[in-house]
């Protein structure tokens, strides 16, 4: 994989159109492209008029897919619940099974499922030269981008705390072995919780390293000529700063259709896209994509 490009912004500003334009342009230059949407309100299929619930070949060099968010959430919860029940089966006395069944109603589950979907889709398609990602609106996407970094911090702390527990457990076992249940691990390598934390850490580290790699990962915010778009774009810029990430480009879509505002406020290279009144076909999208090629150069 040479580059992965994220198109960010509020709903309705033209993220899908921009991601389509770049994808079709790159494929017209015989570059292999995986174009994927992680937005629960998918629009990719509207452009190509195909069912994209699984990875589908659009032309010789372009494949597209819309992640089944609902299906992925169910699968994520199912697999997580199985692992947790196995890990903590010695605690069934506290009705842990019912507690895990409530996971589906917990805040943040959709964001976590989308984060894992993003990781798996990227990892599964690294043979493509370019991966182009159409994203959900600002609020949800900022949460998805922040999760790897916050999760990494918590996992590192949990690993340290877990190792202390095992050390203390071992010390007690040395003094009075009868006080320790035979099912409890006395060594790090035997502990199921540490194994699960290691599994989660591998997932998280993959995304943190990718998102932090500016030679591979490019981010562009799409906006229109209105104050709300500018406000959302500034929110994205500030949100990414908190993660020590930066935007690479601003794409001003539908230029000339709204109020003017100072582009200096964004402090980013601006790519201007014209407003097209007619429905866009593949040729039009490919031509538009020429304006976006500097994102991956």
The dihedrals phi and psi of 125, each to the nearest 5 degrees, come to -125, 30
Contact 131, 5 (CB under 8 A): yes
Whether the per-residue pLDDT at 246 is higher than 60: the answer is yes
The dihedrals phi and psi of 224, each to the nearest 5 degrees, come to -110, 180
Pick the residue with more confidence: 49 or 80? 49
Whether the per-residue pLDDT at 93 is higher than 50: the answer is no
CA–CA distance, 65 with 50 (Å, rounded to integer): 10
CA–CA distance, 227 with 248 (Å, rounded to integer): 21
Q: What is the pLDDT of residues 124-137, one digit of tens each?
A: 999 999 999 999 99
- Of 41, 47, 116, the C-alpha closest to 80 is 116
State the pLDDT at residue 133. Answer: 97
Strand 270-274, strand 249-255: pairing: parallel
The greatest distance separating any two alpha carbons of the chain, rounded to the nearest whole angstrom, comes to: 80
Determine what percent of the chain is predicted with pLDDT higher than 90. 52
Q: What is the pLDDT of residues 199-223, one digit of tens each?
A: 889 989 999 999 999 999 999 999 9
Contact 21, 7 (CB under 8 A): no
Whether the per-residue pLDDT at 237 is higher than 60: the answer is yes
Domain 3-295 has CATH 3.40.50.300: yes
- Of 8, 28, 75, the C-alpha closest to 223 is 8
Determine what percent of the chain is predicted with pLDDT higher than 70. 87
Give the start-to-end residue ranges of the domains of the chain.
3-295
Whether the per-residue pLDDT at 91 is higher than 60: the answer is no
Question: 105 is written with which tokens?
Answer: 């109603």
Whether the per-residue pLDDT at 257 is higher than 80: the answer is no
State the pLDDT at residue 266. Answer: 83
The mean pLDDT of the chain is 87
pLDDT mean over 17-37: 97
Q: What is the pLDDT of residues 149-202, one digit of tens each?
A: 999 999 999 999 999 998 988 888 887 877 677 667 788 888 888 988 998 899
Q: What is the pLDDT of residues 267-280, one digit of tens each?
A: 899 999 887 766 67
State the pLDDT at residue 75. Answer: 80
CA-based end-to-end distance of the chain: 14
State the pLDDT at residue 143. Answer: 93
Whether the per-residue pLDDT at 87 is higher than 90: the answer is no
Kindly report the pTM of this predicted structure. 0.88
Q: What is the pLDDT of residues 96-142, one digit of tens each?
A: 556 556 666 677 778 888 898 999 999 999 999 999 999 999 989 99
CA–CA distance, 146 with 158 (Å, rounded to integer): 18
CA–CA distance, 41 with 183 (Å, rounded to integer): 46
State the pLDDT at residue 150. Answer: 94
Whether the per-residue pLDDT at 72 is higher than 70: the answer is yes
State the pLDDT at residue 193. Answer: 85
Contact 132, 35 (CB under 8 A): yes
Cα 205–chain centre separation = 13
């Amino acid at each position: 994989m040479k580059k992965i490009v994220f198109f960010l912004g509020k709903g309705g500003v033209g993220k899908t159109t921009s991601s389509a334009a770049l994808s079709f342009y790159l494929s017209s230059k015989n570059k292999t492209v995986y174009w994927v949407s992680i937005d629960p309100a998918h629009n990719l299929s509207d452009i190509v008029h195909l069912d994209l619930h699984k990875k589908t070949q659009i032309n010789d060099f372009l494949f597209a897919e819309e992640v089944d968010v609902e299906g992925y959430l169910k699968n994520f919860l199912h697999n997580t619940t199985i692992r947790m029940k196995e890990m903590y089966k010695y605690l069934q006395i506290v009705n842990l099974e019912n507690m895990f069944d409530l996971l589906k109603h917990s805040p943040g589950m959709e964001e976590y499922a989308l984060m894992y979907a993003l990781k798996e889709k990227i990892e599964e398609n690294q043979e493509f030269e370019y991966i182009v990602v159409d994203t959900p609106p600002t609020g949800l996407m900022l949460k998805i981008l922040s999760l790897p970094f916050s999760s990494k911090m918590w996992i590192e702390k949990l690993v340290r705390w877990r190792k202390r527990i095992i050390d203390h457990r071992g010390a007690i076992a040395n003094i009075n072995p009868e006080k320790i249940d035979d099912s409890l691990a006395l060594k790090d390598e035997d502990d199921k919780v540490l194994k699960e934390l290691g599994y989660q850490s591998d997932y998280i580290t993959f995304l943190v390293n990718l998102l932090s790699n500016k030679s591979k990962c490019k981010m562009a915010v799409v906006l229109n000529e209105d104050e709300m778009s500018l406000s959302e774009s500034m929110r994205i810029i500030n949100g990414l700063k908190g993660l020590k990430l930066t935007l690479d480009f601003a794409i001003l879509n539908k230029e000339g259709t709204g109020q003017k505002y100072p582009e200096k406020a964004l402090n980013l290279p601006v790519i201007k896209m014209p407003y097209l009144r007619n429905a866009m076909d593949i040729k039009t999208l490919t031509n538009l994509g020429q304006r976006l090629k500097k994102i991956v150069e």
